[in-house]
Amino acid sequence: MGSAGEEVFALHVKAAGLIAPEREYRFDAVRKWRFDFAWPARRLAVEVEGGTWSGGRHTRGAGYKADLEKYNAAATQGWTVLRFTTGQVKTGEALAVVLAAMGIQTEEVK
């Protein structure tokens, strides 16, 4: 089970009728990096970044640097990585961006 934001995102994806993404998808065998959610056939990934307002690891020096390495490696491997805060997930913004990235109009969603 993931963070609260990850669980909300999973529910939004299911409610929208999307094909379920793979969770904790390992995209790099050497560094063993994982995406929170991935649609490998589309090379589309979603990361729900926690602690953005509370000084979590994603906003501190070493954690931020590690994230940059991960996301740059993903980009060089042809991945589109969409990053969201838990707040963006809860408002539905994350789902809307994912749908747009997939070329799905909101009218097409169940």
pTM of the model: 0.86
pLDDT tens column, 33-60 = 999 999 999 999 999 987 654 455 556 5
What gap in Å lies between CA 24 and CA 83, rounded to an integer?
Answer: 14
What gap in Å lies between CA 12 and CA 17, rounded to an integer?
Answer: 9
Q: What is the CATH number of the domain that holds 93?
A: 3.40.960.10
Determine the structural domain holding residue 23 and report its residue range. Answer: 4-108
Average pLDDT for the chain? 89
Q: What is the DSSP string of 41-55?
A: GGTEEEEEE--TTTT
Domains in the chain: how many in total?
1
